[in-house]
Structure 1
Amino acid sequence: MSPEKPLLLLFDGHALIHRAFHALPALTTREGKPTGAVYGFASMLLKTLEDFKPSHWAIAFDTAAPTFRHIQFQDYKAHRPKAPDELISQFAVVRQLVQTLGVLAFEMEGYEADDILGALSQQASAEGIDSIIVTGDTDTLQLVSPGVEVLLPRPRRPFSDTQLYDEAAVQQRYSLRPGQIADLKGLKGDSSDNIPGVPGIGEKIAVKLIQQFDSLEGIYQRIDEVTPLRIQEILRSNEGVARQSKELATIVTDVPVSLDLSSCRVGSYNRDKVTELFRELEFFSLLDKLPGT
């Protein structure tokens, strides 16, 4: 990424809110209103704004409607428990916050926020603009490219302790290219999304196979070369599952959304309204971190 290029910060709304809710203490106002997830999200947003000084920013949210993945595979994310009421109540507050700050928001029924972020980052690249996707979801690492990086909270560390992933960092973490992450999940599955993968194929074997054959499709094109025979037979008998699992894990980028750069430029905002909201939420420590302070 070039420091001379414009920079678009893309926020994964629901992923960050969920991550903040589970990573931070259960904060409440004096009246008992839950605010921990909003505080974590607001802190992350303001910190990335200060650290990266983007020219543009936008946020994507999930919707309650089923996505095309749920239609293809009924059990997709089916094991996830319903979000607790104290978390649900904070989603609307985050939406209020980003609207007041002037962050352009995207959502579309049938797609996940990941898909929207993928589409927007590709469109930005086509316009000569670099992107950083700020998320709590490692699925987005498959979107990393020369003009797209991903900022993730480090596991089991404070929420504000983050790592920026470029192509080399993804390679170091997985021993694979970003574009091979969906192949990895096609083989080993992803329990967090209830993607089954191939029974008996763990990450170590999956990585070795992808390194040897480049992709899931490459494995099945040269299935006779797979050793040991036991693994070959498992792959043969689960080809449909493997291909469907990869499809479920693949972020699509042909979402019918359009990036209007003039609408997502970082600029002036209603400081009085944001200050009023922060005081109402008792986020006094964040007041001096607002842009323009």
Structure 2
Amino acid sequence: MNEYVLKTNHLSKKYQNKMALNKVNLSIKKGSIYGFIGQNGAGKSTLIRIITGLAYPTSGSFELFGESNESGLTEARKRVGTIIEGPALYPHLSASENLEAHRLLKGIPGKECIEKTLNLVGLQDTGKKKAKNFSLGMKQRLGLAIALLGDPEFLILDEPINGLDPMGVVEIRELLKKLNQEYGITILISSHILSELHLLATHYGIIHEGELLEELSTSELNEKCKHFLYIKVDNPNKAATVIEGILSSRNYEVLPDGSIRLFDYVDQAREVSKALTGEGLIIEEFMLMGEDLEAYFTTRIGGVNRG
């Protein structure tokens, strides 16, 4: 069985003189929630449009459920549900009528899927209320219901929480978690709202100006963002001896500028300070540091800007 739902191989897209995607190698494992992160114009939507058949790459290739030729991709796309650039709703139809219209468009047999899908997204009690009168959160859930028709194995969602109020964001987040954990649906979610993505995603891809800068799991990201005591003293070598001897820690690093990152004792800063000064060391700088997830992404993207 193929471990990956989606893999791209040096995928590139050029519009006139601009590289919207530049040799992107991206991998999405089956069962994951993949947070696709980048600023507006970074290339997120371009990649999604190529995967869903709305655009063609200039060069490179991709595999969807292990299929890479045109006929295979056409079949593989039947296993994918999408929301791109907002849900496609009929404003004068009810939720069930919207689903019926899309069921017929997709050629899905039987009407029983409509009630099941409305229950799944929490819209079973909307009755004859027209979609134009739905809240933004309800419209997003109806869009998700349309994407879920046909029981897709892979959901591709382009900025699904844009414009939602805090309650709407929570509703969509919990629904996506349920779809992933209870129904085993793999999800690619493109967003620039980083604080929300870290509550949802299991894996991340960071894209900037068409280039995929990094892919990492949540555990890898947490490791990179962990907190530490930043220590600068007059004698780094002696400080290292104190850390290993008196504090019994090897979980530290000495940087080229002589500063020290101590990953133990982050909640016992006074004990560390006391041990260092007790051995005659002069402390020049001493503080708790560490990036949160949003700061890490900003650093990665900002680093490119400075280069």
Q: TM-score, normalised by structure 1?
A: 0.31
Q: Which has the higher contact order (CA 8 A, sep 6+)?
A: 1
Larger strand fraction of residues: 2
Q: TM-score, normalised by structure 2?
A: 0.30
Larger helix fraction of residues: 1
Please identify the structure whose Cα radius of gyration is greater. Answer: 2
